[in-house]
Structure 1
Amino acid sequence: MTAATTAPTLVVGLGCQRGCSVAALLALFNEALAGAGIDPRHISALASIDRKQDEPGLLALAEHLRLPLQFFSAEQLAIHEAQLSHRSAVAFAHTGCHGIAESAALALAEHLAQRPARLLINRQKSPQATFALACAG
């Protein structure tokens, strides 16, 4: 097998407040990956909840990183609740999902790899955003 066929699928899940800047998202993205010793070039895609599909900061981040960005409904994210490291009552009250970043990362990693995913980096939080990294494969 070549390295390309054995490389794991790494997906970043993101949640953010309305109006969160691309700079704030990029800082959290870079800090979380650097802290774990993961090269940002190994990230396959970004994911979030469908309520954020028009969020300028998320869209600009995906464009800046040249990564696909996929959105999931709260129902699709709720499937991953048992795998979450943190369950937020505030997130649930606003979205119907207990954890956007972790759930979105898990959902897209599993979708892309067509096999179970696990969290590689649990929820990281900045004042305006959340980040998580899931791995499948």
Structure 2
Amino acid sequence: MPALYAGFGCRRGCPVAVLDRLLHEVLERHGLCATALRGIASVAGKADEPGLQQLAARHALPLVVFAAEQLQAFEPQLSHRSPTAYAHSGCWGVAESTALALASLNHANATLKVARQVLGPATLALACGR
């Protein structure tokens, strides 16, 4: 089973229940197992976001955040480029970029396993290493 890395974007104050529901729905829809998750990532501006912190604690996973500058290298791999995300965070796609960045810390060839998924105020993408 390949290791999975979850990248999240969310609006301020997004509840942990929404983030967890999105995660479980996406894993189930794609036939993936939560035990394959190795970490949760987001953009640096979300480091203090309670929902993300609670999600990481709930799943006993590290929450790793990346500066927008660190995410620029992943732009060519994005399935979607959001001007709104860029205006708020400095990167074109928080969920996909951060999932790829986290997977890249552990694997030479990180790829998107599941492109950006949306549930209300939250986005999620899953990356894996090869």
What range is the shorter-chain TM-score in? over 0.9
| In structure 1, C-alpha distance between the alignment counterparts of 2:3 and 2:60, rounded to whole Å | 16
Using the TM superposition, give the Cα deviation of residue 8 of structure 1 relative to its aligned residue in structure 2, in angstroms: 2.8
| In structure 2, C-alpha distance between the alignment counterparts of 1:100 and 1:83, rounded to whole Å | 12
Contact 1:47 1:104 in 2 (8 A): yes
| In structure 1, C-alpha distance between the alignment counterparts of 2:61 and 2:89, rounded to whole Å | 25
Determine whether 1:31 maps to 2:25. yes
Contact 1:45 1:68 in 2 (8 A): yes
Identity of aligned residues (%): 49
| In structure 1, C-alpha distance between the alignment counterparts of 2:73 and 2:87, rounded to whole Å | 17
The aligned counterpart of 1:40 is 34
The aligned counterpart of 1:71 is 65
Which structure has the larger Rg?
1
Determine whether 1:120 maps to 2:120. no
TM-score by length of 1: 0.92
Deviations 1:34-77 (A, max 9, x none): 00000111111111000000000000000001111100000111
The aligned counterpart of 1:84 is 78
* SS of residue in 2 equivalent to 1:109: helix
Determine whether 1:99 maps to 2:93. yes
* SS of residue in 2 equivalent to 1:18: coil
Give unpaired runs (5+ residues) of structure 1: 1-6
